[in-house]
């Protein structure tokens, strides 16, 4: 939906629209005034789709000017047909009935299309929820419905889930468990067994990295919306960092098996997860790598890596690649290295820099988890899991 903000509806007109709708009958004058000021005015051209059937509900609307039609898709004999359900006009709401939400599961039940130029008053679900909590006058039965909508809208804000279908968003929302953590609570510690991944709804989480014999280092401070702790379970590895609540936090936890189920339904998700894991890894120089500097006949400086362990393998570095090599120290993540590199060499793409690090690792000059190298070689989590299962079956056969 394309729209333009405008300011043609006065506060009194807004209040009258709210007063006239049965849903808001329990509000007092102060509540109505506050809601009127919270709602945003938008203009919709005739013929424009306002909401789409099957999408997650993110906003509620009151019609201030114009009209619209309500349509629903019905499939008969494997053929989809749009059926006209009715018209909406000034004073009608989109997303609300007289006493409840039209949808019980947080998904739009119909498509609404403007049949003339329209002016709407809109409010997003998060702002509406905060208003409800502050007012305390709306129907308590709405709490569960709006909670579902808030979780689904939150899921949509997390990068790997933004393109999930509405059906998958519903399934994921039902799978998540709410977790409340006071300030200074450890969510997990480096070295712990990986059990859950987490979505950060509110608060701040510090990620700490520890190396034996050295002081622990602050790696990142996470703020919503964010997913963390999602990679270790798929690599059968222990937690590679510590997560500590800097403030009181609200989290949503998800079991690896549930995340795997979503990955089965969305093939792009596994690549996002593994790409993130690759960028968060801390590559190190392989042992016995010699760095040789030579000057060519025309005076050009040349840096060559020599791996004396593997039949004297060589790797010639450009000036830019030498910079990357020097930053690979086992403490900085790939993402750290790429950020520093992009500041110094702005004309070289991040993807090209990433390929250099991957190439160094693949040829044995740099060490990092082998599963990540499989991924960059176009293996997905699902393929890696299949490989592990097949290996397990072969091992069983040798014993029986």
Query: Tokens representing 5?
Result: 């903000």
Half-sphere exposure (Cβ direction) of 269: Cα atoms closer than 13 Å: 22
Q: What is the pLDDT of residue 232?
A: 62
pLDDT tens-digit map of 353-370 = 888 888 888 888 998 876
Query: Which positions ≥6 away from 211 have C-beta within 8 Å?
Result: 217, 330, 331
Q: What is the pLDDT of residue 15?
A: 94
Residue 87 has pLDDT above 90, yes or no: yes
Q: Which of 84, 92, 79 is nearest to 111 (CA)?
A: 84
Q: Which of 67, 64, 73, 132 is nearest to 100 (CA)?
A: 132
Name the CATH superfamily, with its identifier, for domain 4-139.
Jelly Rolls (2.60.120.10)
Which pLDDT band, with edges at 50, 70 and 90, does 245 fall under? very high
Three-state secondary structure string covering 18-48: HHHCHHHCCCCHHHHHHHHHHCEEEEECCCC
Helix-, strand-, coil-residue percentages of the chain, each rounded to 5: 40, 30, 35
pLDDT tens-digit map of 289-331 = 889 888 877 878 888 999 877 667 889 998 889 999 999 988 8
Q: What is the pLDDT of residue 4?
A: 54
Same fold, 4-139 and 158-266: yes
Which one is predicted more confidently, 129 or 246? Answer: 246
Q: What is the pLDDT of residue 392?
A: 46
Q: How far apart are CA 164 and CA 247, in angstroms?
A: 30
Q: How far apart are CA 49 and CA 61, in angstroms?
A: 13
Mean pLDDT value across residues 104-128: 93
Q: Which of 247, 140, 110 is nearest to 184 (CA)?
A: 247
Q: Which fold has domain 158-266?
A: Jelly Rolls (2.60.120)
For the chain, domain boundaries: 4-139, 158-266, 284-368
Angle subtended at Cα 346 by Cα 372 and Cα 304, rounded to the nearest 5 degrees: 60
Q: Which residues pair with 208 in a beta bridge?
A: 218, 242
Please state whether 242 falls in left (phi above 0), alpha (psi between -120 and 50) or beta: beta
Query: Tokens representing 98?
Result: 């007289």
pLDDT tens-digit map of 6-35 = 568 899 999 999 999 988 888 889 999 999
Q: Which of 29, 21, 125 is nearest to 63 (CA)?
A: 21
Mean pLDDT value across residues 161-168: 84
Half-sphere exposure (Cβ direction) of 396: Cα atoms closer than 13 Å: 6
Q: Which residues pair with 72 in a beta bridge?
A: 83
What number of other Cβ atoms are within 10 A of residue 362's Cβ? Answer: 14
Which pLDDT band, with edges at 50, 70 and 90, does 178 fall under? very high
Long-range own/partner contacts, residues 379-388 (CB < 8 A, 24 or more apart): 380/267, 380/270, 380/271, 380/274, 381/234, 381/260, 381/263, 381/270, 381/273, 381/274, 382/263, 382/264, 382/267, 382/270, 384/234, 385/234, 385/260, 388/236
Mean pLDDT value across residues 340-344: 88
Query: Tokens representing 107?
Result: 């998904």
Query: Tokens representing 192?
Result: 């712990």
Which pLDDT band, with edges at 50, 70 and 90, does 382 fall under? very low
Which pLDDT band, with edges at 50, 70 and 90, does 386 fall under? very low
pLDDT tens-digit map of 258-269 = 887 887 777 677
- Evaluate whether 263 touches 230 at the Cβ level (below 8 Å): no
Distance set, CA 63 to CA 42, 91, 133, 169 (Å): 10, 5, 24, 28
- Evaluate whether 114 touches 46 at the Cβ level (below 8 Å): yes
Residue 149 backbone dihedrals phi, psi, to 5 degrees: -65, -40
pTM recorded for the entire structure: 0.64
Query: Tokens representing 158?
Result: 């997390």
Residue 102 backbone dihedrals phi, psi, to 5 degrees: -65, -35
């Amino acid at each position: 939906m394309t729209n333009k903000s405008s300011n043609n509806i006065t506060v009194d007109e807004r209040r009258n629209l709210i007063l006239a709708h049965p849903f808001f009958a329990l509000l007092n004058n102060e509540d109505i005034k506050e809601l009127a000021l919270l709602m945003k005015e938008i203009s919709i051209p005739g013929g424009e789709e306002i909401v789409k059937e099957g999408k997650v509900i993110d906003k509620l609307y009151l019609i201030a000017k114009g009209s619209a039609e309500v349509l629903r898709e019905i499939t008969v004999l494997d053929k989809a047909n749009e059926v006209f359900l009715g018209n909406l006009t000034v004073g009608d709401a989109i997303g609300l009935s007289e006493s409840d939400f039209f949808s019980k599961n947080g998904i739009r039940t119909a498509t609404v299309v403007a049949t003339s130029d329209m002016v709407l008053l809109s409010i997003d679900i998060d702002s509406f929820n905060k208003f409800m909590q502050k007012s305390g006058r709306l129907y308590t039965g709405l709490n569960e419905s709006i909670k579902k909508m808030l979780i689904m809208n939150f899921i949509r804000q997390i990068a790997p889930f933004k393109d999930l279908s509405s059906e998958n968003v519903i399934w994921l929302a039902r799978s998540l468990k709410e977790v409340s953590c006071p300030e200074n609570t450890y969510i997990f510690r480096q070295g712990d067994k990986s059990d859950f991944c987490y979505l950060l709804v509110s608060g701040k989480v510090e990620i700490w990295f520890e190396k034996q014999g050295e002081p622990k280092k602050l790696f990142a401070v996470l703020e919503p919306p964010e997913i963390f702790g999602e990679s270790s379970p798929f690599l059968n590895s222990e937690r590679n960092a510590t997560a500590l609540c800097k403030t009181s936090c609200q989290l949503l936890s998800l079991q690896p098996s549930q995340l795997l189920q979503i990955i089965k339904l969305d093939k792009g998700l596994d690549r996002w997860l593994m790409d993130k894991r690759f960028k968060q890894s801390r590559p190190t120089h392989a042992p016995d790598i010699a760095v040789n500097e030579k000057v060519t006949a025309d005076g050009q400086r040349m840096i060559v890596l020599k791996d004396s362990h593997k039949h004297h393998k060589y790797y010639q570095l450009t000036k830019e690649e030498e910079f990357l090599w020097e930053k690979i120290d086992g403490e900085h993540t790939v993402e750290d290295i790429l950020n520093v590199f992009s500041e110094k060499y702005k004309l070289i793409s991040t993807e090209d820099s990433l390929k250099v690090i991957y190439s160094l690792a693949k040829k044995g000059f740099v060490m990092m988890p082998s599963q990540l190298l499989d991924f960059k070689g176009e293996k997905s989590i699902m393929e890696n899991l299949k490989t592990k299962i097949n290996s397990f079956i072969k091992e069983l056969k040798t014993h029986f």
